[in-house]
Chains A and B, each alone.
Chain A
Amino acid sequence: MKLRFALLLTLALSISAIPAYAHHSFAAEFDGTKPVRLVGKITRVEWTNPHTYFYLDVVDAQGKVTNWGVEGASPGALSRRGWKREDLKIGGKVIVEGYRAKDGSNLADGRLVTLPDGRKVYGGSPGDGGPGDDGTDHGSLPGTSK
């Protein structure tokens, strides 16, 4: 009875909005076949629970500016990996190596982020199955075989 109710409620509540906070492993939300390398200036930072986000303006070869979102783990989890909110300065240059969202939107997960001060920090969790995952807290570069 509870499951039927759950299914009915889920059906009733379904909308087409992109979920911002859905629990997911890498595979559920991001596409391992769509690697991205984003270089740009940080425009906005949302250092929030349950997921952090930062946005950057990426300028392509034609000079067109696209704003990309990058999803990260919670503030607590990131701080344990050496990130601080202050590391993401507005206007600072950041390099994001990661994978694009499955729905094709300008959203990526920050697997390997080069912060404005030059430090490289890893954005995945050990064993989450995403590229760069080698079962440790440091990861390896996206694209290396796993």
Chain B
Amino acid sequence: MPILQHLCQLLYDSSFGTMIRESNNAFPIIESVHVLSITLLFGTIAILDLRMLGLVLRPIPITRVAQAVLPLTWSGFVVSFVSGFLLFWAEAAKNYSNPAFRAKLVLLALAGLNPLIFHTSIYRRVHQWESLHISPWRARAAAIASLTLWSGVIIAGRAIAYF
């Protein structure tokens, strides 16, 4: 058995993972938190992305929108990640072979890479373009990538149940 699969099986068989998986209330609650956290995570970053595309909040500089939104997005990410990890712990062995789950992880990694590239490049010069109603094309590309990748994560997440 490949080592990754072995690790997944260990998590799955653990008493903690089993407890969550067979629970009356814990699993439904954790899953509900995970699903609703997409509002904190995706809903807020979408507003920043849409601002860069010039579709919302045009009078407000990018930096102000980012300052308002990013703490919320980060909080959403923490909640999603913790709840998601608990769900994974409970279902690890099944998730390992689930193509939707694998796709979700790939998309998640890309969704995390996108802002890293963005913040170390075009965003460095943000004070040059923060007040523009429509941001430079590199920022817009990052915004479109962000909207697409996070949508993909959510879609793949929902698809897990179908495989």
Contacts and interface: CB of A to CB of B under 8 A. Distances in A.
B159 interface: yes
A49 B24 CA distance: 8
A57 B9 CA distance: 27
A13 B161 CA distance: 12
Contacts of B45: none
Contacts of B163: 13, 15, 17, 19
Given A49-B22, A49-B27, A9 B90 contact: no
A21 B31 CA distance: 14
A75 interface: yes
B155 A74 contact: no
B23 A13 contact: no
A79 interface: yes
A19 to B, nearest CB: 5
A50 interface: yes
Q: Secondary structure of the A side of the interface?
A: loop
Contact of B103 (A13, A19, A21, A49): A13
Contacts of A21: 160-162
B24 A75 contact: yes
A6 interface: yes
Contacts, number: 63
B27 A6 contact: no
B24 A19 contact: no
A22 interface: yes
Contacts of B31: 49-50
A16 to B, nearest CB: 11
B28 A19 contact: no
Interface in A1-31: 1-2, 5-6, 9-10, 13, 15, 17, 19, 21-23
Interface residues of A, number: 22
A86 B23 CA distance: 14
Interface of B: 20-25, 27-28, 31, 90, 99-100, 103, 147-148, 151-152, 155-156, 159-163
Given A5-B155, A22-B162, A47-B22, A13 B99 contact: yes
A67 interface: no
Nearest to B103: A13
Contacts of A23: 161
A21 B87 CA distance: 14
A22 B159 CA distance: 9
A9 B103 contact: yes
A50 B24 CA distance: 10
Contact of B21 (A2, A6, A48, A76): A48
Given A1-B148, A5-B152, A5-B155, A49 B21 contact: yes
Contacts of A10: 155, 159
A118 B156 CA distance: 43
